[in-house]
Chains A and B, each alone.
Chain A
Amino acid sequence: MEEFHPGDEVSFNPDEASNSVKECIESIIGGEDYSQNKVNQWTANIVEHSLTQLVKQGKPYKYMVNCAVMQKSGAGLHTANSCYWDTATDGSCTVRWENRTMYCVVSVFAVAIAL
């Protein structure tokens, strides 16, 4: 179990999380075209790598990372989320990415642990 340091700022930085998620997406599906065979390992890798980067920050948070990859074929897609938490300490960020053949939407939710 990692050591948490009381006295560090307990806040979620959505910009930092957003940047690290964008890097994960780029590194995994950056130059790829949508492939039904590979898409399940892509989504699994994106969520795992993003989660690892977030946990490395060492903050006293629980994280949920959600990733959706959709083929571009004219279909409509709409997502929404609603959260029941402590608005002072908890937060989320959503990253939308696309290339010629697919969309990728990653949402990160961070919930503070009461120490």
Chain B
Amino acid sequence: MDEFQTGSETAFVVEDVSRIVKESVEGVIGGSAYQHSRVSQWTSSVVEQSLSQLSKLGKPFKYIVTCIIMQKNGAGLQTASSCFWDNSTDGSCTVRWENNSMYCIVSVFGLAI
């Protein structure tokens, strides 16, 4: 079994990931109101931009980014996730964002290669 160095360069850093995701969300839907016709391109843009910024970090990780956008209409929404991985190297972070008309929830899972 190879020895890998688990310094800060090969760890999942929640603050960096969270910052990248917040910037992506703000950039894509920052000033917008919920629009049914545009929401599918918003979710795609949020995940693609987040993923490209994450891969630029250059860490030996595989990433999975999911994004949920929900109109504010009084409905209840509950999400949960469960992961079977290596606790010492892998991690996740979830960013919740909202404005007057919608909620946006982005989850990033990072798995060490």
Contact = CB atoms under 8 A, between A and B. Distances in A.
B78 A73 contact: no
Query: Among the interface residues B34, B44, B80, which one has the most CB atoms of the partner chain A within 10 A?
Result: B80
Given A76-B36, A80-B43, A84-B51, 8 more contacts: A51-B84, A55-B84, A77-B68, A79-B68, A79-B69, A83-B65, A86-B62, A111-B62
Interface in B12-70: 34, 36, 39-40, 42-44, 46-48, 50-51, 54-55, 61-70
Contacts of A47: 80-82
Interface of B: 34, 36, 39-40, 42-44, 46-48, 50-51, 54-55, 61-86, 90, 92, 107, 109, 111, 113
Contacts of A84: 51, 54-55, 61-64
A82 interface: yes
18 contacts: A47-B81, A47-B82, A48-B82, A62-B84, A62-B86, A66-B80, A66-B107, A68-B68, A69-B79, A73-B74, A74-B75, A75-B71, A78-B43, A78-B68, A82-B47, A83-B62, A83-B63, A90-B62
A88 interface: no
Nearest to A81: B66
Given A70-B70, A80-B44, A84-B63, A63 B75 contact: no
B73 A73 contact: yes
Contacts of B111: 62, 111
A36 B74 CA distance: 12
Nearest to A42: B78
Contacts of B40: 78, 80
Interface residues of A, number: 46
A63 B48 contact: no
